[in-house]
Structure 1
């Protein structure tokens, strides 16, 4: 016959219950190798593409409905699967393939699984915006890396993920950076990729291949810096310009609180979040601020700015009183009162955003500039590789050396466990007691 047109649906009696799409026109009749006896298609015992030489020719691609046929040889080691979200619906049969140009692939994926936009918005609030931006950047790199084989968010290929991590390792990425990449890919695929045994082994191997070098030696001298802050151009406060007053206030707040940049930025002078007492200033985090760790412990910790040698009786104590952070913060607030536009403690002191709250980038730059200025004023060479985050390690290490307990240190720095301080922040500060053991050994040369 010249052509065949099957324009209507066939009876479902005796069929497999599957939807039969209408056939198109073709120049020959194509017969299915399967029986219509009601048993449905029989599985090829030899696997796909094998042992089918006696079967009739299948219809052309345009006549067959688009159905993904799973490979029975595939295992959970290379492909991760999940149960369908809606009972009776196997959403994994249509894997969600992401695009590098998608503005929000996570939202698209979650809505494709049947979640409402309201629920998706709530779920995304579990991470900070900056974290989402980092994760999104990593996901775009991963999609670009996959090239002609775009990754499937609903059915991720562990081999692609491991190859992506291997490329990062070869490019010199640290183990901590690779862990962030695993977290990002797991977030977009909605899978605990970090628990996969191959990923675990890869991260362990990377820590052996490229071990993390801990900086135990301080990069700058806190004593030198504090001494410089007690001299011009930082003192007297009445003659210090707003730039130097800002630098001194920022650095002293950072080292006396041991807080993160985000928490320092979020300090508010608005009541009731700021209380000025005779010997201290007590600050409470604004409930609208989301800290790095959102537990009740981290939200409940108050920030205390203490007074120092408030009533000096000697010239030496008078010089120490110049480091009184309570005094300096109050002077800074008074100096910025006339042009202040935000309730944040630290505000921009110049430019088009003068009076507006300072960004974390600005605060980090001020901390490094304050340390550099102190070294310059003392006639010393500026240390290399200065980091604003080093104030946490410097302040907590000196506090321990001066007798602060681990409990006090962890409470001030909002560390739930002392192991965080011991493993990552404790510095090897010079101490005379460290010399006692070696000197006692050498005393063997002294006759009894």
Structure 2
């Protein structure tokens, strides 16, 4: 097939020599060899060129292709790199249908200058500033979005997530060194090398996944769906498999027993530090709540209701949970009484763990110097009476467990984590007959698989001994 040059506009001579440009003008163009090289092309496109090429036709590479320097630098050989998405024409030129409002090839060439072989022509308005304070916002603004829309889009992630993503992006930019990344044309080789460096430094698969999510957010590209990235993450899980801790790291029975003894009891003579530690740990293990939810507990009306047999709490409406849904935002937290009227010595001992009783004592002790309406407040220092941070609450939980071990003459576990209270609480509740539905409702897990896969602990049970004992009973004559 031969196209006559009558349909083409004269080339602007200001472009210079055409050998290094995006198009080349001759009298005749033999296009019989410019075909897509197998596989399915862009959605909705055909396998032949348009019947005519005029000045409004846009010649460009696929905008979804992650860029590289050029075919001469492809370590995999011609036609083998960047094959994760619809394949390109072997000549690197894919004619697209006329798109109203898009600049022509000549217009782009005159504005962009010489184009590197193997890169694609950006259809976005401009490049974001890599070194900006907020590169994601800069990038979104460079695409033509208003500041109001950018602010709304950024609200889709929590501030802590934004901070984590921003740190990862800064590390990635630093890793790239003299070859800074382009948010308009992400380089898959740079990204994989960055992930490889993290793997060699000992990062877990879950951490690598966070890095992929962060880079995908800044590149505005579904990086996790890239076939090489998916394969890399799959390989990392085999190279460094995740080890799930099924064995409890601390003994709940030992801790509860210590909370029933001095210096935690009697409450009237316990100092504010020990009262705070006991209150925090009892609420954590009886509710299976996250640190953020414990911090968001409010004592204002109507968010706290003190009833004869329980205290019902509702999270402050300004709190944004990890999962934003009506189920997570409108949850109620119930703190039950425990042997309110004991009739035996054992019941009297168990009543010392009555979380309702402990919370009322804590509220009374903190009332004279309380400033904020959050349940947990700082009990010393310049912020005394102010809302306790999640870091403080986590420290109190670990300190309470450590103190209980020390009081019982036991060695403090070396790998204590505040988050372990959720697994401990849910696992013991199941051991004592709570249904999976009750557990998931209390811990705000939408699926029982979350508990079974990530939180259920292998608690010791006499039933675990039955099989082995049955085998050993073979020595007993029938």
TM-score by length of 1: 0.83
Structure 2: unaligned runs, 5 residues or longer = 1-7, 35-58, 62-68, 72-78, 89-95, 104-120
The answer as to 2:118 corresponding to 1:88 is: no
The answer as to 2:253 corresponding to 1:228 is: no
SS at match of 1:431: coil
**How many angstroms apart in 2 are the aligned matches of 1:44 and 1:164?**
43
**How many Å apart are 1:98 and its aligned residue?**
4.7
**How many angstroms apart in 2 are the aligned matches of 1:165 and 1:86?**
40
SS at match of 2:353: coil
Deviations 1:28-52 (A, max 9, x none): xxx7559xxxx974599999xxxxx
Aligned partner (choices 225, 229, 237) of residue 195 of structure 1? 225
**How many angstroms apart in 2 are the aligned matches of 1:79 and 1:354?**
58
SS at match of 1:169: helix
The answer as to 2:186 corresponding to 1:156 is: yes
CA contact (8 A) 1:249 1:325 kept: yes
SS at match of 2:266: coil
In structure 2, relative to structure 1, the CA distance for the partners of 1:147 and 1:294 (3 Å cut) is same
**How many Å apart are 1:96 and its aligned residue?**
2.7
Aligned partner (choices 313, 322, 327) of residue 292 of structure 1? 322
**How many angstroms apart in 2 are the aligned matches of 1:413 and 1:123?**
29
**How many angstroms apart in 2 are the aligned matches of 1:347 and 1:177?**
32
Partner of 1:375: 405
SS at match of 2:182: coil
**How many Å apart are 1:19 and its aligned residue?**
11
**How many angstroms apart in 1 are the aligned matches of 2:225 and 2:204?**
19
CA contact (8 A) 1:98 1:150 kept: no
Corresponding pairs, count: 399
CA contact (8 A) 1:346 1:357 kept: yes
**How many angstroms apart in 2 are the aligned matches of 1:189 and 1:256?**
43
**How many angstroms apart in 2 are the aligned matches of 1:261 and 1:132?**
19
Partner of 2:206: 176
**How many angstroms apart in 2 are the aligned matches of 1:108 and 1:16?**
38
Aligned partner (choices 255, 259, 274) of residue 244 of structure 1? 274
Partner of 2:56: none
**How many angstroms apart in 1 are the aligned matches of 2:301 and 2:11?**
69
Partner of 1:437: 467
CA contact (8 A) 2:125 2:143 kept: no
**How many angstroms apart in 2 are the aligned matches of 1:172 and 1:353?**
38
In structure 2, relative to structure 1, the CA distance for the partners of 1:44 and 1:169 (3 Å cut) is farther
TM-score by length of 2: 0.78
CA contact (8 A) 2:125 2:142 kept: no
Partner of 2:118: none
Aligned-residue CA RMSD (Å): 2.9
Partner of 1:107: 137
